[in-house]
Amino acid sequence: MDFIRRGGTRQAAFDRAVALPYSGSMLTWEDLAKDLSIQTESKIVLLVIDGLGGLPLRGKTELETAETTNLDRLAMRGCCGVTDPVLMGITPGSGPAHLALFGYDPLRYRLGRGILEALGSDVEVRQGDLVARGNFATLRDGLIVDRRAGRIATEECARLCAVLNAALAARKDPEVTLTPGKEHRFVARFRTAGLSDALTDADPQKDHKPLVKAQALDAASAKAAAVVNAFLDDVIKILAAEPVANAALLRGFSAQPSIPLMPDLTKLRPAAIANYPMYKGLAKLIGMTAYKVGQETEDLFTTIEAHYAEHDFFYVHYKKTDAAGEDGNFEAKVRAIEEIDAFLPRLEALKPDVLVVTADHSTPALMAGHSFHPNPFLLVAPTALPDETGVFTERECAGGLLGRFPSLRAMPLMLGHAGKLKKFGA
């Protein structure tokens, strides 16, 4: 408290506190979690409304424009703030943004998108395998004119993967296997000795750009780059007669990472309720039980209701807000926010001891992509002192009792309000 009185902020005081020497090293949240976490019957529900934060159009953000009766009511019952997934000004990918919410330092654990997609698609990944997220794309005159091949139907993606798998099956080394995903997406797995994931993406990232080859970031990755680029050349040859999807792009190259499991760190029995492969993959990687969920929004809530007795931590992921933001569709994002708001009473009916509603990152429709803007954060619990936040919006939450804090602090905050942390020190 003396530090705070001398002009420091509460957050700076906390950051200074957790930098004290601990067991011969620097104290981290993981050290604290292992020592302080206890098992209890209390339950935590974390609803992640993907890409929720926005920017104003005609003076209001998507969240400020939407009719959010239930979110506003919860805001009046709980305490609010805004979070930064990595650091102020840093635009995060979905992986690091979620890791931070789950209590993992995203600067320490650098996960490629490939492993998340692979695990979420039930692809077997062994030590030594290399995986990547793939897109079917449209190639014309040496240019990628459509990175998503017109968002081909999922059935068409499955057909193309089968064609390529059959054509490549004769090759035993390297072994290449494609697993279809939704629409134009697939997972590519490369299996041979000596593959490293230190590769640049083989993806121009924008339409009407030339093909891009994977580049090795170090000498040990030269073989992996050669294997990947040979595969991409093969795809163009095999799919030469296809009218739309006649090339492939790869990004997020990943090997099997080493990361501590959430149950070991926090003694939680966690479950993931998500219907997109990447989010299920991340959940599996850190030890959550990832349930199969249908594609409708209602399926999220039917699934958590069916398994509520089996776990004490539930991560529920809602994607439509992010998808609309990525498309630059302000009105569609407003509708997506209103859709999820209507389901909030079903979460409340479960009577969790702690209910948190937030986002992994912001996806303003005006930017048509992820951004570095802070995320609105709402926590409702019997032990949470309600603040004066009257509506659940970016600007209102910024004035809430929790202030602005790193997403990495969300997990100890949830555990503390759930009574799942012992006292620290004498």
**Least confident segment among 23-32, 283-292, 411-420:** 23-32
In the block, tokens 């953000």 appear at 61
| Distance from the Cα of residue 156 to its chain's centroid | 26
Q: What pLDDT is stored for residue 127 in this prediction?
A: 86
Specify the pTM. 0.80
Which tens digits make up the pLDDT trace of 350-363? 999 999 999 999 99
Strand, helix or coil at 65? helix
Mode of pairing for the β-strands spanning 354-358 and 44-49 = parallel
On whether the CB atoms of residues 342 and 71 are closer than 8 A, the answer is: no
Mean pLDDT of 243-247: 94
Q: Cis link prior to 174 (omega < 30° from 0)?
A: yes
Q: What does the DSSP 8-state code read for residue 308?
A: G
Enumerate the β-bridge partners of residue 362.
371
Q: Alpha carbon of 320 to those of 31, 66, 156, 335: distances in Å?
A: 36, 14, 23, 9
Terminal C-alpha separation, the chain: 17
- The answer on pLDDT for 2 being more than 80 is no
- The answer on pLDDT for 14 being more than 60 is no
In the block, tokens 């629409």 appear at 183
Helix axes 94-101 and 113-120, enclosed angle (nearest 10): 80
Residue 10 structure tokens:
């509460």
Q: What is the mean pLDDT of the chain?
A: 91
Domains of the chain: 17-111+259-417 (3.40.720.10), 115-254 (no CATH)
CA distance 425 to 175: 54
> For residue 8, what pLDDT band results from cuts at 50, 70 and 90?
very low
Q: Alpha carbon of 227 to those of 32, 148, 203, 277: distances in Å?
A: 43, 23, 16, 25
DSSP class per residue in 105-118: -TTT----HHHHHH
DSSP class per residue in 147-180: TTTTT--HHHHHHHHHHHHHHHTT--SSEEEEEE
Q: What pLDDT is stored for residue 82 in this prediction?
A: 98
Mean pLDDT of 141-168: 93
> For residue 18, what pLDDT band results from cuts at 50, 70 and 90?
very low
Which tens digits make up the pLDDT trace of 213-228? 999 999 999 999 999 9
Q: What pLDDT is stored for residue 182 in this prediction?
A: 84
- The answer on pLDDT for 12 being more than 60 is no
- The answer on pLDDT for 92 being more than 70 is yes
Which tens digits make up the pLDDT trace of 371-396? 999 999 999 999 999 999 999 999 99
> For residue 69, what pLDDT band results from cuts at 50, 70 and 90?
very high
**Least confident segment among 111-115, 188-192, 288-292:** 111-115
Q: What pLDDT is stored for residue 298 in this prediction?
A: 97
Q: What pLDDT is stored for residue 206 in this prediction?
A: 87
Mean pLDDT of 253-262: 89
Q: What pLDDT is stored for residue 97 in this prediction?
A: 95
Higher pLDDT, 249 or 117: 249
> For residue 112, what pLDDT band results from cuts at 50, 70 and 90?
confident
Q: What pLDDT is stored for residue 121 in this prediction?
A: 85
On whether the CB atoms of residues 33 and 304 are closer than 8 A, the answer is: no
CA distance 2 to 8: 9
Strand, helix or coil at 359? coil
Which tens digits make up the pLDDT trace of 20-63? 333 344 678 888 999 999 999 999 999 999 999 999 999 999 99
CA distance 134 to 160: 12
In the block, tokens 């948190």 appear at 356
CA distance 327 to 311: 35
Proportion of the chain above pLDDT 70, given as a percent: 94
Which tens digits make up the pLDDT trace of 161-174? 999 999 998 877 89
